[in-house]
Structure 1
Amino acid sequence: MNFQDLFPVLNHSTYLNTAYSGILSKPLLEWRNKHDVEYLNEGSNFRVNQATITEDLRRKLAEIYQAENIFLTPNFSFGFNTLLNGLDQNHRFLLLKEDYPSLAYPVKTLGFEFTEVDIDINLEQNIIKAIEDFKPTAFAFSMVQYISGYKLSEDFIKKIKQTYPQILLMADGTQFCGTTPFNFKQSGLDALISSGYKWLLSGFGNGFTLLSEQLIGELYQDRVNKKLPTAPFLIGKSHLDMCFEPGHLDTLNFGSLYHSLNFLQSTGFVQIEKSNQLLCQKARLEFYKRGLLPVWMTERESQSTIISLPLEEKLVQKLAGANILCSARGAGTRFSFHFYNTEDDLQKLLDVLDGKS
């Protein structure tokens, strides 16, 4: 497949910046234009005719992620804050140092007791030790670290849940969802919350929250027996619906997520993962040869699609001059590879790193 025909930005840029923002496809733009033209011409009738979009999206998310309790939220931050606001304040949180601010900040400022674990070569051992010492009731973390690209393996997450079933496992999937197949029901997670604008290529303003039955049993218990609204258009909504999905849902944004999920599903999540991992492993080996990565970063079994390199500012400016799109994050420069990237993209990057262009 010629992805340059689908994603015009690839025609003039070496796009290694999906971790910052996914890119827009021509088919999605065409759908969005059609959506708004219909709204322009139909007014209120348009909303009636588009009522199935959100339910179609729920069914698609259930199919792809094998989940039952699905809430449509505009981004990770909204979903996670809504979740935290519904928890008892006695929960004790385990966090990872330098995790995504929208994950760490609300835990710290809402008054929960917490401790943090260093992210290094011994991360998994650090987590187990912290669980044994601090005895948290909740562990909130990003599946993939936005700065370093460090990824917790799915097997390790399952092991935590099997060993410590009482701990609520809450994950930010924004740098993860869209890169690999994933079965929420079998994952051990109690919450997977994701924005859609990165690896899901859905534009801004859409995302989702998946919850386990165990976690649902702890959320907004003060509202369970309270009377729900009786307005006809709210009939059938639960107290959690009223918390996670207050007000009207945007058919443009959530329709965009539905459209992109269909595209990614037709491309094949297994094929996407294979393509991503082959290119990223090749990139890591090349970076290691140039002294830009430690050997242990090339040998980890569980790898993400994000790689951070310690580059001097002069070299970063050369990358910008070569129209190679990447991001400064933490103390490094972050490169992220998705299925539409090629070995030619990697070679262009290596040529700049080697001073050849």
Structure 2
Amino acid sequence: MLTNQKSLFNLPESITYLNGAYMSPQLKSVEKAGHDAVSKQGFPHKIGVDDFFNGPEMLKKAFAELIDVPDFNNTAIIPSASYGLANAANNVKLEPGDEIIIVDAQFPSNVYAWQKVAAQKKATIKVIATPKNLTGKGKAWNKNILDAINKKTAVVSLGPIHWADGTIFDLRAIREKSKLYNAALIIDGSQFIGAAPFSVKEIKPDAVISVGYKWLMGPYGLGMAYYSDDFNDGEPLENNWINRYKSEDFTQLVNYNPGYQPKAGRYNMGECSNFILVPMLTESIRQLLKWQPENFQNYCNSISKKGISNLQELGCSIEDDDFRSKHLFGVYLPKHIDLQNLKTKFQQESIHVSYRGDAIRVSPSVYNSEADFEKFVSCFKNK
């Protein structure tokens, strides 16, 4: 059972940070790993050939364990979600007339990549609209996604949850339906992985992408990706030296090698050895493995359920438990509560949340408590 972990962070006591989906605060251990790495770079003569490869391998192994990947060689180090999604989009099989399914108001990085490849390949993007009725929205939305998958479908690309309000998408059912038509399933896990259980073994997606600075609790500028064996012969975005076969042998670098590192190794970003960010992200993932994502979800549920019930009593709309993540959810206001007044109250009380679409996006973490939600809910009263 996970307990409050705020002591492991440097968050000021004066603020209530319910905004992990925007950016995670830095763990003290991750900050230390960064400081140590910066100091080490002051002595480049102590950085050897092995350092270019050992750090990335440890990071890939940690990420593979986190998302239940049998072979860490199927993972790659990326600088951003857009980079990882572009690798996937550029290598899926598309024919003129094929359809790419995405959901309404999806995060831009998981839209632009598909718009570009759809234009190139004369494919069509099919957007599954958000159900208008907030009651039962998650159930209806999932049904509409499943109904949209047919013989024209070549790709389904979405997150495990919607980034704006935490609506859960049934990836197992979507994978099962997409498999019937040999459609690829590409997952943007940036607002999910690290905070909730995720298994590549169980879901069998074609690719999974995640930034590092949200629920992986790492630094900005580094992320991770998984690519299935179907991508083993794909064309990477970059032609850098380190993703080439036998690049570990510096004496042979001028003997240019047409081959790539095994499996997803070809998709590693240039300078993937980043001597500062790699140790930081490795440390944060190791901490997540100690906590375990299931415990993370349970903790967020335990501290928020009373507050959610109180908000619903005040007339706010929040997705049903079965179709709502516990670390990220949207609060939709009734007409009698004014959003601008509420924002002013949050500012006065030093409460940090986000606003996405029509929802107040609330994203608690292991550094929050039930008292944080009591303070949050109190701002809604007498408005």
Q: One fold, TM greater than 0.5?
A: yes
What residue in structure 2 maps to residue 298 of structure 1?
320
Asked if 2 retains the 8 angstrom alpha-carbon contact of 1:152 and 1:302, the reply is no
Q: How far did residue 248 of structure 1 move?
A: 1.7
User: What does the per-residue CA deviation read over 1:243-292, in whole Å, with 9 as the maximum and x for residues that have no partner?
Assistant: 52242211211221110011111123232121123334333322211111
Q: 1:24 to 1:130 in 2, by over 3 A?
A: same
Pairing 1:153-302 to 2, within 5 Å after superposition: 153-161=170-178, 164=180, 166-213=182-229, 215-216=230-231, 219-220=234-235, 232-233=249-250, 237-238=260-261, 243-249=266-272, 250-293=274-317, 297-301=319-323
The change in CA–CA distance for 1:151 and 1:347 in structure 2 (over 3 A counts) is: same
Are 1:337 and 2:348 counterparts? no
> 1:13 is matched with which residue?
15
- The count of corresponding residues between Structure 1 and Structure 2 is 345
Tell me, what secondary structure is at the counterpart of 1:308?
strand
Instruction: Kindly provide the amino acid, as one letter, of the partner of residue 130 in structure 1.
Output: A
Shift in Å, 1:118: 1.3
Seen in structure 2, the aligned counterparts of structure 1 residues 86 and 243 have a Cα distance that, compared at 3 Å, is farther
Instruction: Report 1:7-156 matches (<5 A).
Output: 7-40=9-42, 42-46=43-47, 48=49, 50-51=51-52, 52-67=54-69, 68=71, 69-90=74-95, 91-110=98-117, 111=119, 112-120=123-131, 121=137, 122-132=140-150, 135-156=152-173
Cα distance between partner residues in 2 of 1:347 and 1:191: 39
Distance in 2 between residues matched to 1:319 and 1:166, nearest whole Å: 48
After TM superposition, the score normalised by the length of structure 2 is 0.82
Does 2:367 align with 1:326? no
Deviation (angstroms), 1:50: 3.1
Q: Distance in 2 between matches of 1:302 and 1:135?
A: 30
Secondary structure at the aligned position of 1:270 is classed as helix
Task: Identify which range, 196-205 or 153-162, moves more after superposition.
Answer: 153-162
Percent of paired sites with the same residue = 22
Q: Deviations over 1:299-344 (max 9, x none)?
A: 4355342222245111111101110011121123211111221100
For the 8 Å contact 1:288–1:298, the answer to whether it is kept is no
The CA distance in 1 between the partners of 2:379 and 2:106, in whole Å, is 30
Cα distance in 2 for partners of 1:106, 1:344 equals 41
Q: Which digits, 9 at most, give the CA deviation of each residue in 1:176-201, with x for residues without a partner?
A: 01112221121131111000100111
Return the alpha-carbon distance in structure 2 between the equivalents of residues 140 and 184 of structure 1: 15
User: 1:124 corresponds to which letter in structure 2?
Assistant: N
Amino acid at match of 1:140: S
Supply the AA of the counterpart residue of 2:60: R
* Letter matched to residue 57 of structure 2: E
SS at 1:166 equivalent: coil
- Provide the residue aligned with 1:308 in structure 2: 330
Q: Which moved more, 1:265-274 or 1:25-34?
A: 265-274
Please say if residues 94 and 154 of structure 2, whose CA atoms lie closer than 8 Å, have aligned partners that are also in contact. no
The one-letter code sitting in structure 2 at the alignment partner of 1:207 is: G
Q: Retained in 2: the 8 A contact 1:196–1:202?
A: yes
Find the aligned partners of 1:18 and 1:304 in 2 and give their Cα distance: 12
SS of the equivalent of 1:300 reads helix
Q: Given that residues 292 and 310 in structure 1 are in contact (C-alpha distance below 8 angstroms), is that contact kept between their aligned partners in structure 2? A: yes
Distance of 1:308 and 1:18 partners within structure 2:
13
Who is 2:336 aligned against? none
Could you tell me whether the CA contact under 8 Å between 2:106 and 2:162 is conserved in 1? yes
Q: 1:136 to 1:281 in 2, by over 3 A?
A: farther
- Displacement of 1:49 in angstroms is 6.0
Scaled by the length of structure 1, the TM-score of the pair is: 0.88
Deviations 1:70-125 (A, max 9, x none): 11111211110122123344253111111111101221133142111012321111
Distance in structure 2 (CA, Å) of the matches to 1:143 and 1:272: 16
